[in-house]
A = this chain, B = another copy of it.
Amino acid sequence: MKIAIMGYGNLGRGVECAVSQNDDMELVAVFTRRAPETVKTVSGVTVYHVDHLLEKKEEIDVLVMCGGSATDLPGQTTEYAKYFNVVDSFDTHAKIPEHFARVDQAAKEGGKVAMISVGWDPGMFSLNRLYAGAILREGKDYTFWGKGVSQGHSDAIRRISGVKDARQYTIPVEAALAAVRNCENPELTVRQKHTRECFVVAEEGADQARIEEEIKTMPDYFADYDTTVHFISEEELRRDHAGIPHGGLVLRTGKTGMGGEHNHVIEYSLKLDSNPEFTACVLAAYARAAYRMSKEGIMGCKTVFDVAPAYLSPLTPEEMRSRLL
């Protein structure tokens, strides 16, 4: 199937790499809002300005949307779902229902399949919440994130005056995790679930004590957490904190037996060296599903909940049953 990428940042590069790992996919183009001659792809695939996207309609089976959720995807996915099978990683959880409604209308208008909110959370974590909840009907869900870099929290620190650069790690609290795994069904506050660790490069002469105080008391982002702040050099930041690792865990504990006498723990965890590259791999798998479902005449907006797992695998049904079942 012929794949195109819309938007060429970390995620777009990740999709380029993911497509190269899938024998049944070919990357045919990258589209950008920048001047195409300024964008150099890793694989050498041609870069076009987004203005030429519709002209290539017949050459593209699935368009993978690689913009951001805040400002790019709400408009872009809705617009292009009229013309292409699309997959996006829209991750503003609270706005998913309205995004779904808009994209669904567009995709039905165009007779296309539009997969939204694909990645790991939303995405694989959501799937695991659904499966575990359908199995253990009497139980409790827990989601932990990290250890990993939160781009939003890093950006928030960078906006403080006197801060040159920063990297923030979200870290699950081991004691909380242990209590969950032990079926204690703890009620956990925000502070009890995660800690936040910040590595900050201050501008020369900046008041570090004031910066640290501003970070630790920042509402929503840090005030509700136990936060540690380390001041480091620009060189250290580049050397030790260049990666974009992330991950996390979804757990459900529940009881069975006529007296609820048996405990069960379902746990799904991810440990990712590169958040965007892993997300891109999930996007590629769901691009395959979008293509296949579209071929079957299915249309409209879909999420990971609507996709039978078999659509994701390059194996035949017979191979799946004999090798994986």
Contact = CB atoms under 8 A, between A and B. Distances in A.
Contact of A264 (B129, B273, B306, B325): B273
Contacts of A256: 14, 17-18, 21, 273-274, 277-278, 280-281
A176 to B, nearest CB: 17
Nearest to A20: B258
Interface stretch (A151-159, A203-211, A311-319): A311-319
Contacts of A261: 273
A42 to B, nearest CB: 5
Interface stretch (A119-127, A165-173, A227-235): A119-127
Given A122-B325, A320-B130, A21 B137 contact: yes
B257 A264 contact: no
Contacts of A239: none
A270 interface: yes
A135 B265 CA distance: 24
A97 interface: yes
A325 B308 contact: no
Nearest to A304: B309
B137 A127 contact: no
Contact of A268 (B20, B136, B267): B267
Contacts of A324: 126, 129-130, 133, 305
Nearest to A265: B271
A308 B134 CA distance: 13
Interface in A262-314: 262-274, 277-278, 280-282, 285, 288, 303-310, 312-314
A321 interface: yes
Interface residues of A, number: 70
Contacts of A42: 258
Of the listed residues A20, A93, A273, A318, the one surrounded by the most CB atoms of chain B closer than 10 A to its CB is: A273
Given A124-B131, A134-B313, A257-B274, 9 more contacts: A14-B256, A122-B325, A130-B312, A134-B288, A134-B312, A256-B277, A263-B273, A265-B271, A304-B325
A299 to B, nearest CB: 15
Contacts of A133: 313, 324
Contacts of A163: none
A113 to B, nearest CB: 13
B273 A313 contact: no
A21 B305 CA distance: 22
Contacts of A71: none
21 contacts: A18-B137, A20-B258, A42-B258, A93-B325, A97-B318, A100-B321, A124-B135, A126-B324, A126-B325, A127-B131, A133-B324, A137-B281, A257-B274, A261-B273, A262-B277, A263-B273, A267-B270, A268-B268, A303-B320, A304-B325, A305-B325
Contacts of A272: 262, 264-265
